[in-house]
A and B are shown apart, each in its own frame.
Chain A
């Protein structure tokens, strides 16, 4: 089966920066071939999932204010259907780690992530969440949120502009559009050893 290109409305495939990564991902996922029917169902599921990414209201510092600006009138993330920010992790689809994660916060964040239902995505927003940012050398800062949980999209910036948020979110949408759910790929009901 040929590699499908994730389509995002009003932004060309070529305009995104890191298509190689996604193409590699598709090639890996499609290595064993896909059943046509299940492939179509996957497309349908991914359409629903990618267009309805509800973020968890989680902000530790500066990036949180930009996240609020993102939801506010000028940038209006409701256009993409992101506006249903849920305060409970049980109802959220993705966690936007806006701001520095400290040693004390790390287990809390991990717990929140653990309590989210599958499928769940993580977006690391801002320098601090990506790598520790300006506080990399501090004794109390986690150098990058990827040390404690898998990250899907990194949005650099200190804080990133709302446009950068959008770019990151659309990247996440593109990534979600490529996933495969049927065939029991994602079932991990037992504890991993």
Chain B
């Protein structure tokens, strides 16, 4: 039943967008002029392309996120039963957790967390 509900939610989301866009397309007024489709940049034509090589410091964080998020994924199943596992569960996960914290400390030390 739950998976069916998942499908229902997905279909609802798509239907919502499609329906709204359909209404908009059906009754909205339209006009044409040569400048309408061009990119907006405070009223000045864009210089060159926007899709060009662009140095970003953002990707470093994406990679860091990937690393930590995967580790969080591993932690979730453990978290549900940690109460039953008791001290054993705690100690065994501490090794894993230690690696996680070491990773963060290493990234910090290396300056990966600094904005460049």
Contacts and interface: CB of A to CB of B under 8 A. Distances in A.
Contacts of B38: 115
Contacts of A185: 29
Interface of A: 45, 88-90, 108-112, 114-115, 117-119, 181-182, 185-192
B31 A89 contact: no
Interface of B: 27-36, 38, 40, 42-45
Contact of B29 (A108, A111, A181, A191): A181
Contact of B27 (A89, A90, A181): A181
B40 A115 contact: yes
Interface centre among B28, B29, B32, B33 (most CB of A within 10 A): B29
Contacts, number: 49
B93 to A, nearest CB: 49
Contacts of B27: 45, 181-182
A109 B42 CA distance: 10
A118 B28 contact: yes
Contacts of A187: 29-31
Contact of A188 (B28, B31, B35, B44): B31
Nearest to A112: B43
A178 to B, nearest CB: 15
B30 A114 contact: no
A46 to B, nearest CB: 12
